[in-house]
């Protein structure tokens, strides 16, 4: 059930509805009178493919009790955008229109996605109402900070529809990693030669980001250390951007003490120039070719696995051939309990992948799948292999 209340952010709900229906969700829309001033029920009906309800006295429901019928059909109610007024109503249990009555009559979880002017959001009354809703078990998604429709800048704007969609999907995922802290490296590294040039590789970061999203959806607290990539941060994930292997190593070492699982997905450059030119390297008159000397970068995964109390370490390996022998050899060399191998690097940048799991007990092959599905499967596989923390402490 998607409930719209009055606010300019109603236009974002058209996209949210499209994302939810595309993913196979049944979206039943209800709107307050004020919401219909910002987006029409016709638009919402066309996008959701179902009749839209706005009135408590709607005779289309057989028993004429839409507040009961509609709320019983819902797996969750999402109020987006949630206006100042509607949050106040919810916090005080008021029920003077269809949507507010539906909310108080519900027997399913309630999620709210606030959207309002920054002063309205910061007003102590709103903050009290939001605190009350949280205490009542309502999940509050956002708001974001930034420029607002009124021209002011600050907290209160609705999170983007893609983020709201991810948060709703996350809400429904089984919480296999609840209470676990997961550290993930993703993407390539970039090793500079001079201020404008450097060495990098074709890793897109898609697999690492998909794993970060899946771990967050499974209830984990996720810290993602990302090399230079052009991907959006998954909802609810803490992201730290780095450029070089040394920076990635330092960021990981700083964060690792607090984590239960370390997943090294990054394609870390093995070497860096031992001298980075301060100025752009120019062609010389005699056309002498430049030459570079390299030094080896730290092996981040091996360094973490060597710690006195390492987290559960998972490595990745893209091999260009002989996956079975190379995968197991690499797992043993890096001293990790689990290594996920695939035949690459032709998988770089693709949206799907086919992997094998290497561990002391042998090899398990997983069927080819898109990276989102594969990431969810891998998070399940990792969760199943975790030592029982209650037995350790
Ligand atoms: N890795 C790492 N730090 C490095 C190199 C690799 O953390 N400096 C991690 C990768 O993130 C991956 C795993 O180690 O999880 C295997 O990466 P790969 O590049 O295949 O390993 P290498 O040791 O570099 O082996 P190769 O000689 O085959 O390149």
- Which one from 103, 108, 150, 259 is the annotated catalytic residue? 150
Quote the CA–CA distance of 57 and 60 in Å, as a whole number: 9
Ligand 1 pocket: which of 268, 330, 355 to mutate (most atoms <8 Å of CB)? 268
pLDDT digits (tens, 9 = 90+) for 42-55: 999 999 999 999 99
User: What is the CA(137)–ligand 1 centre distance, in A?
Assistant: 44
Q: Is the pLDDT of residue 66 over 90?
A: no
Q: Is the pLDDT of residue 389 over 60?
A: no
pLDDT in the model for residue 393: 42
User: What Cα–Cα distance (Å) separates residue 7 from each residue in 117, 157, 286?
Assistant: 10, 10, 67
pLDDT in the model for residue 188: 98
Cα pseudo-dihedral 163, 167, 168, 169, rounded to 10: 100
Ligand 1 pocket: which of 201, 205, 299 to mutate (most atoms <8 Å of CB)? 299
User: What is the CA(249)–ligand 1 centre distance, in A?
Assistant: 12
Q: Where in the chain is the domain with CATH 3.40.50.10300?
A: 181-391
3-class state of residue 86 by DSSP = helix
> Among the atoms of ligand 1, which is closest to the Cα of residue 263?
15
Q: Where in the chain is the domain with CATH 3.40.50.1950?
A: 2-172
User: What Cα–Cα distance (Å) separates residue 245 from each residue in 193, 225, 387?
Assistant: 14, 11, 29
pLDDT in the model for residue 147: 86
> Among the atoms of ligand 1, which is closest to the Cα of residue 270?
8
Query: Which residues make Cβ contacts (< 8 Å) with residue 66, sequence separation at least 6?
Result: 53, 55, 56, 58, 60, 98, 102
Q: Is the pLDDT of residue 190 over 50?
A: yes
Sign of CA dihedral 17, 18, 24, 29: positive
Q: Is the pLDDT of residue 24 over 80?
A: yes
Average pLDDT, the chain: 93
Give the pLDDT mean for 92-96. 96
pLDDT in the model for residue 70: 85
* CATH H-level, domain 181-391: superfamily: CoaB-like (3.40.50.10300)
Quote the CA–CA distance of 189 and 247 in Å, as a whole number: 9
pLDDT in the model for residue 92: 97
Q: Is the pLDDT of residue 222 over 90?
A: yes
User: What is the CA(265)–ligand 1 centre distance, in A?
Assistant: 9
Q: Is the pLDDT of residue 239 over 50?
A: yes
How many helices and strands in the chain, by DSSP H and E? 14, 21
CB 180 within 8 A of CB 220: yes
Residue of 33, 54, 108 lying closest to 76 (CA atoms): 108
Ligand 1 pocket: which of 205, 297, 301, 303 to mutate (most atoms <8 Å of CB)? 301
The more confidently predicted of residues 6 and 149 is 6
Residue of 194, 178, 329, 331 lying closest to 261 (CA atoms): 178
Kindly state if the Cβ of 300 falls inside 6 Å of ligand 1. Answer: yes
Lay out the sheet containing 356-359: strands in order across.
Answer: 238-241, 221-226, 181-186, 261-264, 312-319, 338-343, 356-359, 362-365
pTM for the complete prediction?
0.88
pLDDT in the model for residue 346: 64
CB 114 within 8 A of CB 47: no
> Among the atoms of ligand 1, which is closest to the Cα of residue 315?
15
pLDDT in the model for residue 391: 47
Quote the CA–CA distance of 183 and 280 in Å, as a whole number: 36
pLDDT digits (tens, 9 = 90+) for 117-161: 999 999 999 999 999 999 999 999 999 998 888 888 889 999 999
* CATH H-level, domain 2-172: superfamily: Flavin prenyltransferase-like (3.40.50.1950)
Quote the CA–CA distance of 84 and 93 in Å, as a whole number: 14
pLDDT in the model for residue 348: 66
User: What is the CA(269)–ligand 1 centre distance, in A?
Assistant: 8
Binned at pLDDT 50, 70 and 90, residue 352 comes out as confident
Reply yes or no on whether 313 is catalytic. no
Binned at pLDDT 50, 70 and 90, residue 300 comes out as very high
């Amino acid at each position: 059930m998607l409930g719209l209340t009055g606010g300019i952010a109603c236009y974002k709900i058209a996209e949210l509805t499209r994302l939810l229906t595309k993913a196979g969700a049944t979206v039943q829309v209800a709107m307050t009178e004020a919401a219909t001033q910002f987006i029409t029920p016709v638009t919402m009906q066309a996008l959701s493919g179902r009749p839209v309800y706005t009135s408590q006295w709607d005779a289309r429901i057989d028993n004429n009790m839409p507040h009961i019928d509609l709320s019983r059909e819902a797996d969750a109610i999402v109020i987006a955008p949630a206006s100042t007024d509607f949050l106040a109503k919810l916090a005080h249990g008021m029920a003077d229109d269809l949507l507010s009555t539906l909310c108080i009559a519900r027997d399913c979880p309630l999620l709210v996605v606030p959207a309002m002017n920054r002063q309205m959001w910061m007003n102590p009354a709103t903050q009290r109402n939001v605190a009350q809703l949280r205490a009542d078990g309502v999940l509050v998604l956002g708001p974001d900070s930034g420029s607002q429709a009124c021209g002011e800048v600050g907290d209160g704007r609705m999170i983007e529809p893609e983020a709201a969609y991810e948060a709703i999907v996350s809400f429904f995922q089984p919480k296999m990693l609840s209470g676990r802290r997961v550290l993930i490296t993703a993407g390539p590294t970039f090793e500079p030669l001079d201020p404008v040039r450097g060495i990098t590789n074709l890793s897109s970061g898609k697999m690492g980001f998909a794993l970060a999203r899946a771990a967050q959806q499974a209830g984990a607290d996720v810290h993602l250390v990302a090399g230079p990539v052009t991907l959006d941060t998954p909802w609810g994930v803490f992201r730290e951007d780095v450029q070089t292997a040394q920076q990635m190593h330092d960021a990981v070492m700083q964060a690792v003490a607090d984590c239960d699982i370390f997943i090294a997905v990054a394609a870390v450059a093995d070497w860096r120039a031992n001298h980075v030119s301060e100025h752009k390297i120019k062609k010389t008159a005699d056309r002498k070719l430049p030459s570079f000397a390299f030094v080896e970068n730290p092996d981040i995964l091996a360094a973490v696995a060597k710690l006195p109390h390492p987290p559960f370490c998972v490595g990745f390996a893209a091999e260009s051939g002989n996956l079975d022998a190379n995968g197991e050899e690499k797992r043993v060399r890096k001293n990790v309990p689990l290594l996920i191998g695939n035949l690459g690097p032709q998988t770089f940048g693709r949206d799907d992948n086919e992997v094998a799991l290497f561990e002391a007990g042998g090899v398990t092959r997983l069927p080819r799948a898109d990276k989102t599905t594969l990431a969810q499967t891998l998070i399940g596989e990792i969760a199943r292999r975790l030592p029982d923390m209650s037995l350790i402490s």
